Structure 1
């Protein structure tokens, strides 16, 4: 009998936002896998670090942090082979994933390679989307509002089209695209309605009006939230002009 592949959502960064189920599985893990950059520590591992058994076997999936196409297919092919060997031996593999495994989560690349051959279980996590709304202190969406999630690297015209048909929207993966996105939102008259959150739930998080954020690259873990629906929701007074 083969082991089970678990995709564990860790939440946005604060270990206290992990679910009880995620905590239970991580605390009893024999083998864990997690994404890691080629320089510096793994963010996913750092969230779960305090709960890892001392004897746990670790399988870091080293993913170069580059502008080029992500993910590198050969990296996940190799990781899937290593994890498959563990599963074939009858051991479970607990795969750590920031946020939620199926919401822009790196775990999905392992899932597509292994789910047809081994039992899989997904443990959902608090997403960055809801974590950022909580830190901004403004509801995300309501009733018949259309919520649109937009990757920041999309071309301006694609982003404009999606913004025009949405009542609530989140722009993710802001990073180096921050100046361009600010200029586009200013042109559309939405800059004063836009909130900005980076590193939500972490000790060094920043929450502000987007208009007050200096131009320049933003961290990868940053998000712009805009509400333009029928509710009278504005940015909290501490963020408003």
Structure 2
């Protein structure tokens, strides 16, 4: 039997009309649709394709065994996630070996801080796998801010707020332009790091970029907490004609 293909499909930053034509075609034609979600939640990726699916689609909700309950440095966190990805890689591979194509929904771009990359590492070479790139969340965020993120020779640093505070401070101090993702409960730590780097007055917080609830505020005016879908920006001010 000719095996099916696992398609990791980037959905973009959160608006259906920012999906690529290829992504739209694959989502609408999917017979098997897989997506990640937190237990008890509908899943952001699944929400983005509401109303686009064929009537006979078979949905596979891949529910994380842990999200923020354990520190990422905890050995139990690593063990649980390793087992989760191995289990779902096996399930998807079985579908592909039976001849089924499977579309795996990915927020943003599948190869940019995405869960799909962990499946890709386990599936690649075992069954056919393709990746459809998507507009990244950070691109949606700096577009929402209304200003270019880099000019001329600016160096852009992309970091996650899960880094230690001292490392965040160093990264913020040593770059021209900055993007920080995965903020959520790390906002107080990030705020201290940005202030220590002397960048607080030029920092912006973008929440839910490209989504109906989008909000763009200077970091100094942001509250004490931020949603997971929040991105901090420091725009570069480099060379220009």
With structure 1 as the length reference, what TM-score do the two structures score?
0.91
| Partner residue, 2:227 | 219
8 Å Cα contact 1:38/1:65 also seen in 2:
no
Secondary structure of 1:148's partner?
strand
Q: Distance in 2 between matches of 1:42 and 1:227?
A: 31
**How far 1:77 sits from its partner (Å)?**
1.2
Q: Which residue of 2 aligns with 1:83?
A: 92
SS in 1 for 2:150: coil
CA deviation after TM superposition for structure 1 residue 218, in Å: 1.0
**4+ long deviations beyond 3 Å:** none
Would you say 1:40 and 2:49 are equivalent positions?
no
Aligned to 2:102: 93
Is the 8 Å Cα contact of residues 8 and 125 (structure 1) preserved in structure 2? Answer: yes
Residues matched between the structures, number? 231
The aligned residue for residue 206 of structure 1 is: 215
Structural mapping, 1:17-56, within 5 Å: 17-56=18-57
Q: In the alignment, is residue 6 of structure 1 matched against residue 7 of structure 2?
A: yes
Shift of 1:75: 1.1
CA contact (8 A) 2:172 2:197 kept: no
How big is the alpha-carbon RMSD for the aligned residues of Structure 1 and Structure 2?
A: 1.5
Contact 1:80 1:113 in 2 (8 A): yes
Partner of 1:230: 238
What is the match of residue 235 of structure 1? none
Deviation digits for residues 125-157 of structure 1, max 9, x if unmatched?
010110000001110113321110011011121
TM-superposed deviation, 1:186: 1.9
Shift of 1:211: 0.6
Q: Which residue of 2 aligns with 1:239?
A: none
CA contact (8 A) 2:173 2:197 kept: no
The answer to whether the Cα contact below 8 Å between 2:172 and 2:194 also exists between their aligned partners in 1 is: no
Match of 1:237 in 2: none
Task: Note the alpha carbon deviations across 1:24-55, whole angstroms, 9 max, x for none.
Answer: 01111111111011022111011012211110
What's the counterpart of residue 66 of structure 1? Answer: 68
Instruction: Quote the Cα distance in structure 2 between the aligned partners of 1:221 and 1:227.
Output: 19
